[in-house]
């Protein structure tokens, strides 16, 4: 009887421990967004808000195909902050005709993100449909593939037309016609779509790049046409959204996220998210701080208990709202740094006045000014 | 009678149309206002906003923080002087205890006197500019002065401080 209880409890514990180990969901996309298995693609791995956020690398794509084992490892390249990429031709890389790719991102220390999945474009989804775009929720700063099935043309018949061009504009933000597509009577070759099947055409763009703008965009206006412009579809509108905000609540939040020793720096500490239950009951929070790694540059050195009241006041955090505390200063002044001192890191332990109740140590990187 | 009435209405419409076609004379546009004279004088900070440029670029939730009432920024004053030829000369910053990201004394200049986008500050010991502020709007005597200081690291903009100044003793 007891054994009957222990087994499900063990399963539950295992389930919860696996959940705790999960490293967050990466946001993964491809260029082109709707891709074929036999073409070269770039996979973008966005690790913001995962356990690999701000990782220095190397990072690897651990992956497999068609639901098989994830046993392929490929080192990723840095594209931007928290954006990594790999370039592969799926069918060649996995050695099979690929329908789906399953993957996760990992570093050398075994820190991993949650698994993700990508699907190869299936032309049958265009049966009876003139236009579809991928992903269905298109983001203005990322790749979107607009697929056109010429056999379903809604105005002039574009079946057999080769090549088909996409004529694009933006009205809501007043960006007008896409700059590089030429004029209506002299359409630029760069506006041509890519043939991905019989009477099946793809235009893959990053909207902001296509319009050469940094403005947020809410819509692509477009139609498909022949070169002469005497055969075309009706106007289409493809909605666009902003990239998702992927910040997760953390015990400490520096503002700004990146700063130098000369900047005004605010450190927020959220008691609600503190795992040490003893600290959660404190009314007054103090910091114990030092700089860099294995260096003592504490503006409040020595034994905490015998600090002068003026020094203790410097270490006290200010309550803000809803169990959030903050402290604000300019690092080079607060730590009385010599101008030549290279400040690379700030370390914090949160504690009570006497120093008996303490949090774990948190560290924050400090950048060097150009 | 009805025909006469219609003719009268037609005449009125025609006369109004001709009157509307009369050329209107506008005054001279005059010389463009001097940006150097527009910035000359003492300016006191009325608003200072710290912008987290990294968070802004990444679509983060927390992108701005109002510093106006902190660090004594509301006492921060900068004075731009010009010489007898109405050219940029010296400047002085009275920090009032607030941090200053630019030099506090020296000479100033625009990157372009007619279409300035930056104010360049040079330390008294230097012939080259040692710090600078970006103009958000062209300086004009009767308008608030909007400038920002930008901090770069690794070639990337990471933080900026947006200042709004009001002219003193107008």
Tokens matching residue B83: 């010489």
Please report residues of B whose CB lies closer than 8 A to that of A241: none
A260 vs B53, B65, B151: nearest CB: B151
For A92, the enclosing helix (H) or strand (E) is helix A90-94
Residue A353 · residue A312 · CB < 8 Å: yes
Identify the band that residue A16 occupies on the pLDDT scale cut at 50, 70 and 90: very low
For chain A, give the number of residues.
370
- pLDDT higher than threshold 50 for residue A13: no
Closest CA relative to residue B102, chosen from B137, B76, B64: B76
Beta-strand pair A236-241/A219-225? antiparallel
C-alpha A290/C-alpha A66 separation (Å) is: 50
CB contact (8 A) between residue A369 and residue B152 = yes
Give pLDDT tens digits for A242-283: 887 655 668 899 999 999 999 999 999 999 888 888 888 888
C-alpha A82/C-alpha A84 separation (Å) is: 7
Tokens matching residue A18: 């696996």
Residue A141 · residue A206 · CB < 8 Å: yes
C-alpha A149/C-alpha A165 separation (Å) is: 13
C-alpha A246/C-alpha A300 separation (Å) is: 36
Give pLDDT tens digits for A44-91: 999 987 889 888 889 999 999 999 999 999 999 999 888 999 999 999
Residue B158 sits at the chain A interface (C-beta within 8 Å) = yes
Upstream peptide bond of A163 is cis (omega within 30 degrees of 0):
yes
- pLDDT higher than threshold 50 for residue B93: yes
At a CB cut-off of 8 Å and minimum separation 6, what does A158 contact? A150, A164, A199, A224, A225, A226, A231, A232, A233
Q: Give the count of beta carbons closer than 10 Å to the beta carbon of residue A188.
A: 13
Q: Give the count of beta carbons closer than 10 Å to the beta carbon of residue A258.
A: 23
Q: What is the pTM of this model?
A: 0.61
Closest CA relative to residue B121, chosen from B139, B103, B98: B103
DSSP string, A286-353: EEEEEETTT----SS-S-GGG--HHHHHHHBPEEEETTEEEEEE-HHHHTT--TT----EEEEEEE-T
* Distance of residue B165 Cα from the nearest chain A Cα, in angstroms: 20
Instruction: List the alpha helices (DSSP H) in chain B.
Output: 2-20, 35-39, 53-57
Distance of CA B57 to the CA centre of its chain: 24
Identify the band that residue A14 occupies on the pLDDT scale cut at 50, 70 and 90: very low
- DSSP 3-state of A12: helix
For residues A116-152, one letter each, b for 16 or more C-beta atoms within 10 angstroms of the residue's C-beta and e for the rest, the string is bebebbeeeebeeebbebbeeebbbebbbbbbbbbeb
Angstrom distances, CA of residue A158 to CA of A162, A166, A184, A201: 9, 12, 17, 11
Residue B101 sits at the chain A interface (C-beta within 8 Å) = yes
Give pLDDT tens digits for B106-122: 999 999 998 999 999 99
Identify the band that residue B127 occupies on the pLDDT scale cut at 50, 70 and 90: confident
Identify the band that residue A216 occupies on the pLDDT scale cut at 50, 70 and 90: confident
- pLDDT higher than threshold 50 for residue B20: yes
Please report residues of B whose CB lies closer than 8 A to that of A367: 153-154, 158
Beta bridge pairs of residue B43: B78, B167
C-alpha B168/C-alpha B170 separation (Å) is: 6
Scan for tokens 């009477």, then name that residue: A199
Q: In degrees, to the nearest 5, what angle opens at C-alpha A32 toward C-alphas A30 and A37? A: 85
pLDDT at position B56, please? 81
Instruction: List the alpha helices (DSSP H) in B21-140.
Output: 35-39, 53-57
* Distance of residue B27 Cα from the nearest chain A Cα, in angstroms: 33
Residue A203 · residue A132 · CB < 8 Å: no
* Distance of residue A166 Cα from the nearest chain B Cα, in angstroms: 30
Angstrom distances, CA of residue A112 to CA of A22, A24, A26, A118: 7, 8, 10, 18
Q: In degrees, to the nearest 5, what angle opens at C-alpha B119 toward C-alphas B117 and B122? A: 150
pLDDT at position B18, please? 53
B151 vs A253, A263, A266: nearest CB: A263
A370 vs B55, B61, B155: nearest CB: B155
At a CB cut-off of 8 Å and minimum separation 6, what does A166 contact? A146, A148, A181, A191, A193, A203, A222, A223, A224, A225
C-alpha A226/C-alpha A242 separation (Å) is: 32
Backbone angles phi, psi at B39, to 5 degrees: -100, -15
* Distance of residue A13 Cα from the nearest chain B Cα, in angstroms: 34
Instruction: List the alpha helices (DSSP H) in A135-274.
Output: 207-210
């Amino acid at each position: 009887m007891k054994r009957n209880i222990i087994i499900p409890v063990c399963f539950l514990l295992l389930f919860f421990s696996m959940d705790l180990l999960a490293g967050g969901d990466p946001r993964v996309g491809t260029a082109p967004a709707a891709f074929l298995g036999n073409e070269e693609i770039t996979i973008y791995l966005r690790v913001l808000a995962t356990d690999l956020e701000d990782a220095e690398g190397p990072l690897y794509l651990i992956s497999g195909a068609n639901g098989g084992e994830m046993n392929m490892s490929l080192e990723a390249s840095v594209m931007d902050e928290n954006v990594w990429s790999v370039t592969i031709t799926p069918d060649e890389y996995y050695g099979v005709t690929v329908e789906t790719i399953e993957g996760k991102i990992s570093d050398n220390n075994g820190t991993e993100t949650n698994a993700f999945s990508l699907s190869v474009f299936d032309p049958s989804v265009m049966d009876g449909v003139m236009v579809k775009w991928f992903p269905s929720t298109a983001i203005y700063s990322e790749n979107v593939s607009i697929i056109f099935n010429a056999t379903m043309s809604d105005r002039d018949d574009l079946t057999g037309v080769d090549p088909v061009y996409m004529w694009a504009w933006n009205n809501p933000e007043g960006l007008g016609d896409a700059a590089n597509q030429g004029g209506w009577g002299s359409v630029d070759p760069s506006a041509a779509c890519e043939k991905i099947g019989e009477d099946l055409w793809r235009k893959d763009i990053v909207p902001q790049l296509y319009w050469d703008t940094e403005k947020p965009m809410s819509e692509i206006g477009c139609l498909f046409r022949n070169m002469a412009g005497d055969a075309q579809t009706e106007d289409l509108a493809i909605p666009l959204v902003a990239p998702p905000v992927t910040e997760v609540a953390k015990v400490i939040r520096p503002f700004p996220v990146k700063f130098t020793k000369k900047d005004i720096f605010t450190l927020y500490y959220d008691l609600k998210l503190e795992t040490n239950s003893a600290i959660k009951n404190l009314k007054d929070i103090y910091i114990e701080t030092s700089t860099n790694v294995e260096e003592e540059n504490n503006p409040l050195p020595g034994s905490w208990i015998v600090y002068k009241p003026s020094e203790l006041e410097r270490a006290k955090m200010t309550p803000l709202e809803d169990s959030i505390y903050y402290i604000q200063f300019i690092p080079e002044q607060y730590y009385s740094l010599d101008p030549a001192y290279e400040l690379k890191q700030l370390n914090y332990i949160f504690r009570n006045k006497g120093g008996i109740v303490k949090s774990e140590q948190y560290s924050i990187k400090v950048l060097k000014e150009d | 009678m009805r025909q006469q009435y219609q003719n009268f209405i037609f005449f009125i419409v025609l006369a109004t149309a001709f009157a509307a076609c009369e050329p209107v004379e506008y005054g001279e546009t005059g010389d463009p206002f001097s940006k150097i004279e527009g910035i000359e004088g003492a300016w006191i900070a009325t608003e200072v906003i710290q912008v987290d440029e990294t968070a802004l670029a990444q679509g983060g939730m927390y992108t701005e923080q109002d510093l106006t009432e902190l660090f004594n920024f509301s006492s921060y004053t900068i004075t731009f002087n010009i010489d007898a030829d109405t050219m940029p000369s010296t400047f002085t910053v009275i920090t009032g205890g607030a941090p200053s990201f630019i030099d506090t004394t020296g000479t100033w200049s625009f990157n372009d006197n007619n279409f300035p986008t930056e104010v360049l500050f040079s330390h008294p010991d230097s012939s080259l500019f040692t710090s600078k502020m970006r103009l958000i709007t062209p300086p004009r005597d009767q308008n608030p002065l909007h400038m920002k200081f930008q901090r770069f690291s690794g070639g990337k903009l990471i933080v900026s401080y947006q200042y709004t100044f009001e002219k003193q003793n107008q």
